[in-house]
Chain A
Amino acid sequence: GAVVSQHPSRVICKSGTSVKIECRSLDFQATTMFWYRQFPKQSLMLMATSNEGSKATYEQGVEKDKFLINHASLTLSTLTVTSAHPEDSSFYICSARAPRDSYEQYFGPGTRLTVT
Chain B
Amino acid sequence: EDKVVQSPLSLVVHEGDTVTLNCSYEVTNFRSLLWYKQEKKAPTFLFMLTSSGIEKKSGRLSSILDKKELFSILNITATQTGDSAVYLCATQGYGGATNKLIFGTGTLLAVQP
Interface residues of chain A, those whose CB is within 8 Å of chain B, are: 32, 34, 36, 41-46, 49, 57, 93, 95, 97, 102-105, 107-110
Contacts and interface: CB of A to CB of B under 8 A. Distances in A.
Given A93-B43, A103-B92, A105-B101, 8 more contacts: A34-B100, A41-B108, A42-B105, A43-B104, A46-B101, A46-B103, A93-B42, A107-B43
B104 to A, nearest CB: 6
Interface string B40-58: 0111110010000000000
B104 A34 contact: no
B41 A44 contact: no
29 contacts: A32-B99, A34-B100, A34-B101, A43-B103, A43-B106, A44-B90, A44-B103, A46-B100, A46-B101, A46-B103, A49-B100, A57-B97, A93-B42, A93-B43, A95-B101, A97-B99, A102-B95, A103-B31, A103-B32, A103-B48, A103-B99, A104-B48, A105-B101, A107-B44, A107-B45, A108-B42, A109-B42, A110-B41, A110-B42
Contact of A107 (B31, B42, B97, B99): B42
Tell me the dominant secondary structure on chain A's binding face. strand
B38 to A, nearest CB: 8
Interface centre among B32, B43, B90 (most CB of A within 10 A): B43
Interface centre among A34, A97, A105 (most CB of B within 10 A): A105
Contacts of A57: 97
Contacts of A108: 42
A60 B40 CA distance: 27
B88 A43 contact: yes
Contacts of B43: 44, 93, 107
A101 to B, nearest CB: 11
Contacts of B85: none
